[in-house]
Structure 1
Amino acid sequence: MATFDRRRIPAPETSRPRAVSLAGPSRTRAHDEPRPLFIKTGLVTQANGSAYVEADGVKIACSAFGPRQRPPPFTSSGTLNVEVKFAPFASCVRRAPLRDTEPISHAAVLTTLLQPAVHLHLLPKLAVDVHVYVLEGDSDAGVLAAGLSAACAALADAGIPLAALAVGSSVALPSPSSPGPSLSPSSALLDPSGPECSAASAVLTLGAMPALGRATGLHMTGEADVDAVCGMVEVALGGAGAAHTAVAQALLEAA
């Protein structure tokens, strides 16, 4: 009893993993149907703008700060700084704090996808900081897609000038050895889950501004031919339209 810490909640004596197969749950929605998306803005009162995005298997909290005065040298346009951090419990394997290099690549990709939507030329000598905190992420593609939507919603909530709302959409191309009669190499799965991304031959994340009919960037892993990639982009554009509607509705409700 002398070593008992009363400031902490004691953990259970025993634990057991969830009864989930390695292949993951079967897909119950259509191949071009996204997962339900929940988004709400203005949850972080200490930030100039914030947004929380939740889909099945992905939970992200995003905060936006600025515009603030940046140190010399002088720049004719503003600077966009994106930081991505994962909670230790964000994935099945617990992450070691301060020794995770994976968020660096995520931040670089999100900066590339988000920057075309921000009017940085209207913010000379200023900087805008975006902090993306991943509470749960079943796949890199899901984190990038939801993170882009959350970051743009937080910037809009902060009043940062934007060309349009930029949202993310992810698509997975099943490999020929994927189980299930409905899966084929030519059918792209919109908004794939973690097991679907692991079994896919190629995974694509698209940043788009549906209101302007433009894409902000493209990030792809794996291998696929040109026709398959074009089909994946078409499916991703449909998912981006659905995400754009959800983000716009959340901003209207907050206003």
Structure 2
Amino acid sequence: MTTQFDRRRIPAPEESRPPVYATAESEAGPSKRDRPADALRPIFLKTGLVTQANGSAYIEAAGVKIACSWNNVSDSAISFGPRPRPPPYTPHGTLNLEVKFAPFASRARRAPLRDTEPVNHTALLTQLLLPALRLHLLPKLSVDVHILVLEADSDAAVLSAGLTAACAAVTDAGIPINGLAVGSVVSTDGQTLLLDPTGDETSTAQCTVTLGAMPALGKVTSLHLVGEVDLDQACEMIELTLTGAKATHNVAAQSILDGAS
């Protein structure tokens, strides 16, 4: 008896890794941080890439690539809506946020449609984004945000870049907001604070803080801390994340202006 299989589908390997090129630095040991401790990695953000959605955004920040949309398109960060909400009546609008990972988003290949929707990412990103929206102006309406993670080097980077892309997509869709929300991450390993850490730096960090902020209003939307750290150093980490959020805010605001022109 022969085994039945789909000849149209090419089986992929369970794991995929980028090529590593031997250099003098790599032979001597792991590469060190190539930028100051308080410097961000380059950010690329563009809105309006998905024409089928009311609003969309795509962000690249070193080891993270995220597409977001406002509606039901799953190719990028897209925003859809607002659309009528089924009963019962609510005086405020509702936010439906969905996070999915592409099968090739991480080193260990993810199973399609089964391992692509981490609940904790959805809940945390909802907490980060919700304070930025003016849902009281949208009674009986529902706003859908779909986030597709194409590449991810750490969970903290996904939350930070995901918030920035989601708020940019919402703004591109014309949804009223209190302020432009962006994400920022800081890790510490001992006494050194690292802004926008890499995946390796996050995995060995003693503590990592992910913060959502609206720098134009001087407000914080939400804070997520993983690890242990004393109170004084936690305050220093929060101050550094706010500094990083201001720099990211400038990039996001300019991208939205460029997309509107």
With normalisation by structure 1, the TM-score equals 0.88
* Residue 55 (structure 2) pairs with residue 49 (structure 1): yes
Please show how residues 188-227 of structure 1 align to structure 2 within 5 Å.
188-227=193-232
Equivalent residue in structure 1 for 2:165, among 125, 147, 150: 150
Distance 1:189 1:8, change over 3 A: same
Match for 1:94: what amino acid? R
**How far apart in 2 are the matches of 1:16 and 1:38?**
23
SS in 2 for 1:215: strand
Contact 1:89 1:136 in 2 (8 A): yes
* Residue 137 (structure 2) pairs with residue 122 (structure 1): yes
- CA displacement, residues 102-158 of structure 1 (integer Å, 9 cap, x when unaligned): 621001000001000000000000000000100000000000000000000000000
Equivalent residue in structure 1 for 2:39, among 24, 33, 50: 33
CA apart distance, 1:18: 2.5
Please show how residues 1-255 of structure 1 align to structure 2 within 5 Å.
18-19=19-20, 25-63=31-69, 64-100=79-115, 103-174=118-189, 185-255=190-260
Unaligned runs of 5+ in 1: 175-184
Distance 1:30 1:17, change over 3 A: closer
Runs of 4+ aligned structure 1 residues displaced above 6 Å come to: 5-12
Contact 1:172 1:203 in 2 (8 A): yes
SS in 1 for 2:176: coil
Match for 1:44: what amino acid? V
Count how many residue pairs are aligned between Structure 1 and Structure 2.
239
Contact 1:70 1:125 in 2 (8 A): yes
Contact 1:24 1:195 in 2 (8 A): no
Contact 2:133 2:177 in 1 (8 A): yes
User: RMSD value over aligned CA atoms?
Assistant: 2.3
With normalisation by structure 2, the TM-score equals 0.86
Match for 1:249: what amino acid? Q
SS in 2 for 1:171: strand
Match for 2:128: what amino acid? L
CA apart distance, 1:9: 8.0
**How far apart in 2 are the matches of 1:136 and 1:90?**
4
- CA displacement, residues 169-191 of structure 1 (integer Å, 9 cap, x when unaligned): 011111xxxxxxxxxx1221000
**How far apart in 2 are the matches of 1:208 and 1:27?**
26
Contact 2:99 2:117 in 1 (8 A): no
Unaligned runs of 5+ in 2: 1-5, 70-78
